Structure 1
Amino acid sequence: MHSILRPEYRPAMPQDTYSHGHHRSVVNAHATRSASDSAAYLLPRLQPGHRILDVGCGPGSITVDLAAVAAPGRVTGLDRSEDVLVQARALAAERGTENVEFLPGNVYDLDFPDDTFDVVHAHQVLQHLTDPVAALHEMRRVTRPGGLVAVRDADYHGMSWYPELPELDEWMDTYQRIARGNRAEPNAGRRLVSWALEAGFTGLEPSSSNWLYATEDRRRWHAGAWSQRVLQSAYAEQAVERGLASRADLARIAETWLRWGEAADGWFLIPNGELLARA
């Protein structure tokens, strides 16, 4: 039982701001993710019959993949946005996935008893939280003893690209300032072990993997997605509201993203920290 750990983390509920927001340019990009490209470190540990919680499931593309592996086990996708949950449910219906459900919820106060799940998974979630240690504590609480908490997060300052265009440096600096203004940690990948140790985990299995955008199709897709996000998503709203960039600055950065996407030698590497933590 993990309930003994709970009272220590029960002061006022953290109020988090999602740095990316839920504009369609963001959600559509997230909907292209799969378990194979985003949770490969976890897949070999899953078994048919496993009960899985996917925290921050977004549009559900990874969640539905996990449900296919764990069947006949039940998978629950959790997100605080009802809009993306509607999209996730539609995807499950389209694929005929019946062993999955999508519910609203808060990672700091999971509405499940202690020791409910075999695996609790969170992809690109901890980087957006003001208290990732409290979130890990709560994820551990609902994981059965011996089960796994699995987390994967990008490391923004670990990203690298070529050609080295100054507007992409501006993009990165603006994103770092937006995220830190939200009291979040954009370089979360390198901190996963530290946070898990602080949350009381032992038996840690760290790893890392990359997303690479260097082929023509992948490069143009990534450039197109970020050019839209720079102009239309919460990135744009927060940058302008906080005086971090003007609309003209954002238009220039968005144009540079498209220019980078057309470069035959273009390269963009996103490193991700991964961690399997035994509950």
Structure 2
Amino acid sequence: MPISRSQPSLATEAVIAALKAAGETTRYRILVLLAQSELTVKDLTAILGQSQPRISRHLKLLADANLIARYPEGAWVYYRIAEAGAERRLVLDLAALADPADPTLIRDREWLAAVKREHAAQASRYFAENAADWDTIRSLHVPDAAVEAAMMSILGVRPVDSLLDIGTGTGRLLELFAPIYRKAVGIDASTAMLAVARANLDEAGIHNAQIRHGDIMKLPMPRDSFDVVTIHQVLHFLDDPAEALSEAARVLRPGGRLLVVDFAPHALEFLRERHAHRRLGFAREAMAGWIEKAGLSLAETVDLGGSNKEQLTVTIWLARDPRILVADRISGMETA
């Protein structure tokens, strides 16, 4: 059956190089594992029972053939299969050919499950140690369920190709919006929180979302990469929220949407003193100005809660990249 012209392809030399890289027992086992989950050298060492230098050598050969990608995260480096293109298709096809009854691959899956259980246990310990602080802040505003329902209502159910969650924390928004995106990435500067997010996504069975270590001010993505970008309860930790919004706008595709959730202005100084809040909420006018400065158009603003002096108001802002709107308007003028 001929290959569709729309499918990604490789030059013959690249195909041969990729097959040579994959054509070794340990490296093939690594590809099968990475097709299921992103892993570190330490994880692969535990699963495959081989030394760190040996595993690192295999990973380098696979990376040199562009079959896998590496993402540094603090002191760790996470590996996953190629994110796009013919190399990704090749890895997935090769992994799909594996006999699920192969005893070696069965053991690999069992060890992978054990590694994931340990990741989940570590995440649970971290969550338990910090739960008191999070519970204190949650008690100050409307329930999370109400905020999430409002976010889902504002964003809608129309499918999108790609979503970026900046400051993903526990990965909750990646779970919440999983029904509408084809692929997603969660970015966070805290390696501890990324461990929590990975465990939560594993438990939820979400495999089309990735977790990456990154700086909100210098997102490791090219311009025009995402249809939707979310920033949930992150801006109040930053010295320069306006710069963060500009960086979020940079990675939005034409016509893309930015969803921001944060507090309205308040006077709870203890949040600054005990919980590292740099900003005590954001006025509508200030946020609207920053959004406009970032080259976006403010589409909707919604306030939740704040019915009494002790309760914080949660504000949701929806902004759009207007470039596609301008293109449509010009096209309409030309055809008029």
Give the number of the structure with larger relative contact order, counting CA–CA contacts within 8 Å between residues 6 or more apart.
Answer: 1
Q: TM-score, normalised by structure 2?
A: 0.49
The 5 Å alignment of 1:83-232 reads 83-157=192-266, 172-176=268-272, 184-190=278-284, 191-201=286-296, 203-211=297-305
Q: Which residue in the other structure is 2:130 paired with?
A: 23
Any conservation in 2 of the 1:66–1:75 contact (CA below 8 Å)? no
Structure 1 residue 206 displacement after superposition: 3.0
Task: Report the CA distance shift for 1:49/1:149 in structure 2 as closer, same or farther (over 3 A).
Answer: closer
Any conservation in 2 of the 1:38–1:62 contact (CA below 8 Å)? no
| Corresponding residue to 1:39 among 151, 154, 158 | 151
The 5 Å alignment of 1:46-65 reads 46-65=157-176
Provide the C-alpha distance between the structure 1 equivalents of 2:131 and 2:305, rounded to a whole number of angstroms. 21
Structure 1 residue 60 displacement after superposition: 1.1
Q: Over aligned residues, Cα RMSD in angstroms?
A: 3.0
Which amino acid letter does the alignment assign opposite residue 148 of structure 2?
Answer: S
Provide the C-alpha distance between the structure 2 equivalents of 1:175 and 1:29, rounded to a whole number of angstroms. 10
Q: Secondary structure at 2:304's aligned position in 1?
A: strand
Provide the C-alpha distance between the structure 1 equivalents of 2:290 and 2:274, rounded to a whole number of angstroms. 22
Any conservation in 2 of the 1:33–1:62 contact (CA below 8 Å)? no
Aligned length: 187
Structure 1 residue 41 displacement after superposition: 4.9
Unaligned residue ranges in structure 1 (runs of 5+): 1-21, 159-171, 214-265
Provide the C-alpha distance between the structure 1 equivalents of 2:246 and 2:282, rounded to a whole number of angstroms. 17
Say whether residues 1:278 and 2:320 are aligned partners. Answer: yes
Q: Which residue in the other structure is 2:106 paired with?
A: none
Larger Rg: 2
Percent identity over paired residues: 28
Provide the C-alpha distance between the structure 2 equivalents of 1:124 and 1:270, rounded to a whole number of angstroms. 13
Provide the C-alpha distance between the structure 1 equivalents of 2:272 and 2:150, rounded to a whole number of angstroms. 23
Any conservation in 2 of the 1:33–1:61 contact (CA below 8 Å)? no
Structure 1 residue 208 displacement after superposition: 1.7
Q: TM-score, normalised by structure 1?
A: 0.58
Structure 1 residue 52 displacement after superposition: 0.3
Q: Secondary structure at 1:62's aligned position in 2?
A: helix
Any conservation in 1 of the 2:166–2:186 contact (CA below 8 Å)? yes
Any conservation in 1 of the 2:160–2:227 contact (CA below 8 Å)? no
Unaligned residue ranges in structure 2 (runs of 5+): 1-128, 322-336
Cα-to-partner distance string for 1:166-221 (whole Å, 9 max, x where unaligned): xxxxxx23335668xx79321225332122123232x21231232479xxxxxxxx
Which amino acid letter does the alignment assign opposite residue 132 of structure 2?
Answer: S
| Corresponding residue to 2:311 among 242, 257, 269 | 269
Provide the C-alpha distance between the structure 2 equivalents of 1:28 and 1:59, rounded to a whole number of angstroms. 14
Task: Report the CA distance shift for 1:108/1:205 in structure 2 as closer, same or farther (over 3 A).
Answer: same
Which amino acid letter does the alignment assign opposite residue 184 of structure 1?
Answer: R
Any conservation in 2 of the 1:150–1:276 contact (CA below 8 Å)? yes
Cα-to-partner distance string for 1:29-48 (whole Å, 9 max, x where unaligned): 7999467346235431x532
Structure 1 residue 131 displacement after superposition: 0.9
Task: Report the CA distance shift for 1:69/1:211 in structure 2 as closer, same or farther (over 3 A).
Answer: farther
